[in-house]
Amino acid sequence: METCHSLEKMMSGPLSGVTILDISTVVAGPLATMHLADQGANVIKVEPPGGDINRRSRQKVSENGQFSALFISTNHGKRSIALDLKNAEAMAAFRKLLLKADVLVQNFRPGTTEKLGIGWEDVRKINPRTIYVSITGVGDDGPYVRKRIYDPMIQALSGMADIQSEQTTRRPQMIRTILADKTTSIFAAQAITAALFAREKTGLGQHIRLSLLGTMLSFLWPEAMMQYTVVGRESTAAATNVGPDLVFETRDGFMTVGTISDAEWKGFCDAVERPELKEDERFATAEFRNLNSTERINIMAAILREGERDEWLRRLDRADVPCAPVLRRNEIIDNEQVRAMHLVQTLEQPFVGEVRQPSPAARFDDTPSAIRGPAPGIGQHTRDILSEVGLSDAQIEGLITSGAARAG
């Protein structure tokens, strides 16, 4: 079982010694800093006295009302300080935190941090070594800049919904997970580590700007926008999302199969005992298999429908053809590969009980990543953090008593 914030774990990761102030909310910013906390960063979650809105989102799971499943899975391993940044005394305390911060992450609407006096230019004057990260929906300029943006808006604008279009009606469809937020979190975490590396050479921080829209275009482009990569060739290029998806129904479940290379296609034909398909001109090359993907996938579906899933998987594995069972979510935790790699672990979450979390995806041999503790309660570490930046006990109690801060 995980021990909350043990000194050994706090010091072991590759980002040990890096302090990050996270004033972001919802998912993209908090998930980015959680990845960095898993890699050893000292992440201080700065939230209002009422707590991050995500504490009250879907799936509230705690006795004290402070934790939702989503909050736990985007904030474990952090410390929490609760400050009202609209209060002058609380803001003065926050500026003391900035003096020791390596990174500040925010995802307010453009212009909000400037009004609070902690925009990029303000922070640079306080601590020129700070890396300042701004995450927005569509950027900080343009006709959509004042729009309220959530993940579905980005799926709609980026082409993701079009890629998922129903094959017969061409009705766009959404991915049923907050893909833009989670993808942006990974881009943000990578950008922060790049900026930390650059600071080692220059000694100075910088402003990093990410938008969910820009991130998703970058994420989708390599294969989803192949048709639009060569200027002037759009109408002659094959669409990248033609054909049914690769979920195949069998007599007793669902599976997926990949047949990109010639060897894989021939292996599939042999495994399902349909050798004549290897000679079919429509499927003779990877290009032809893509151009005729609807016919090919429909043929594969008709074949696989007649057998049992595990038998097909055994045959395809013997032929070295990419394949896997399509797992329901309740099957993932006990899947043999997931268990063998210890990809899901448990820890004790106060006021909740035992919770599952995915293990950090990046594994470091010499500076291990790890879940360094549960998600914090609102202001759980307010007194400790304010003491670390030099406030006296009397000053801290004054902030708490006045409502400018909250201690858990």
Distances (CA, A) of 126 to 40, 54, 104, 129, 266: 25, 30, 12, 9, 64
Q: Are 67 and 349 in contact (CB under 8 A)?
A: yes
Domain with 391 in it: 7-219+338-406
CATH code, 384: 3.40.50.10540
Confidence of residue 242 (pLDDT cuts 50, 70, 90): low
Clarify whether residues 321 and 348 are in a common domain.
no
> Strands 103-106 and 131-136: what pairing?
parallel
3-state secondary structure of 66: coil
* Whether pLDDT at 311 is above 60: yes
In total, how many domains does the chain have? 2
End-of-domain residue from the set 325, 358, 376: 325
Q: Is residue 105 part of a domain?
A: yes
**pLDDT on residue 239:** 62
Distance CA 102, CA 73 (A): 24
Q: Which of 108, 109, 139, 144 is nearest to 213 (CA)?
A: 139
Confidence of residue 169 (pLDDT cuts 50, 70, 90): confident
Distance CA 67, CA 56 (A): 7
Confidence of residue 56 (pLDDT cuts 50, 70, 90): confident
Clarify whether residues 56 and 152 are in a common domain.
yes
Clarify whether residues 198 and 66 are in a common domain.
yes
Mean pLDDT of the chain: 93
Mean pLDDT calculated for residue range 215-219: 97
Q: Is residue 353 part of a domain?
A: yes
Q: Is residue 1 part of a domain?
A: no
Of the CA atoms within 13 Å of residue 169, those in its CB half-sphere come to 4
Clarify whether residues 157 and 302 are in a common domain.
no
Residue 220 phi, psi dihedral angles, 5° rounding: -80, -25
Mean pLDDT calculated for residue range 192-211: 98
Q: Is residue 195 part of a domain?
A: yes
Q: Of 233-237, 343-347, 361-365, 375-379, where does mean pLDDT reach its minimum?
A: 233-237
Residue 273 DSSP label: T
Q: Is residue 240 part of a domain?
A: no
Clarify whether residues 119 and 265 are in a common domain.
no
Query: Following DSSP, what letter does each residue of 196-259 receive, concatenated?
Result: HHHHHHHS---EEEEEHHHHHHHHHHHHHTGGGTSTT-TTTSPPTT-S--S-EEETTEEEEE--
Q: Of 50-59, 79-88, 253-262, 381-390, where does mean pLDDT reach its minimum?
A: 50-59
* Whether pLDDT at 59 is above 90: no
**pLDDT on residue 38:** 98
Distance CA 83, CA 176 (A): 34
Clarify whether residues 108 and 144 are in a common domain.
yes
Mean pLDDT calculated for residue range 199-210: 98
Q: Are 99 and 126 in contact (CB under 8 A)?
A: yes
Phi-psi domain of 174 (left: phi exceeds 0; alpha: psi -120 through 50; beta: other): beta
* Whether pLDDT at 132 is above 70: yes
**pLDDT on residue 130:** 98
End-of-domain residue from the set 304, 325, 346: 325
Q: Of 164-168, 260-264, 315-319, where does mean pLDDT reach its minimum?
A: 164-168
CATH code, 252: 3.30.1540.10
**pLDDT on residue 1:** 32
Clarify whether residues 208 and 254 are in a common domain.
no
Give the tokens for residue 315.
């045959």
* Whether pLDDT at 297 is above 90: yes
**pLDDT on residue 12:** 82
Distance CA 40, CA 247 (A): 39
Q: Is residue 232 part of a domain?
A: no
Task: Provide the strand spans (E) within 290-389.
Answer: 323-325, 344-349, 353-358
Q: Which of 152, 224, 158, 151 is nearest to 185 (CA)?
A: 151
Residue 123 vs residue 2, higher pLDDT: 123
Confidence of residue 62 (pLDDT cuts 50, 70, 90): confident
| Portion of the chain with pLDDT greater than 70, in percent | 95
Give the tokens for residue 28.
């993209």
Mean pLDDT calculated for residue range 270-283: 96
Mean pLDDT calculated for residue range 276-305: 94
* Whether pLDDT at 13 is above 60: yes
**pLDDT on residue 170:** 84
Clarify whether residues 317 and 365 are in a common domain.
no
CB-based burial label for 202 (10 Å; 0-12, 13-18, 19+): exposed
Clarify whether residues 149 and 290 are in a common domain.
no
* Whether pLDDT at 151 is above 90: yes
Clarify whether residues 99 and 173 are in a common domain.
yes
Confidence of residue 7 (pLDDT cuts 50, 70, 90): very low
* Whether pLDDT at 91 is above 90: yes
Clarify whether residues 276 and 158 are in a common domain.
no
Clarify whether residues 285 and 359 are in a common domain.
no
* Whether pLDDT at 236 is above 80: no
End-of-domain residue from the set 278, 300, 325: 325
Distance CA 48, CA 261 (A): 54
**pLDDT on residue 237:** 54
Q: Is residue 290 part of a domain?
A: yes
**pLDDT on residue 4:** 41
3-state secondary structure of 275: helix
* Whether pLDDT at 298 is above 50: yes
Q: Is residue 64 part of a domain?
A: yes
Q: Of 84-88, 108-112, 381-385, where does mean pLDDT reach its minimum?
A: 108-112
Distance CA 51, CA 248 (A): 45
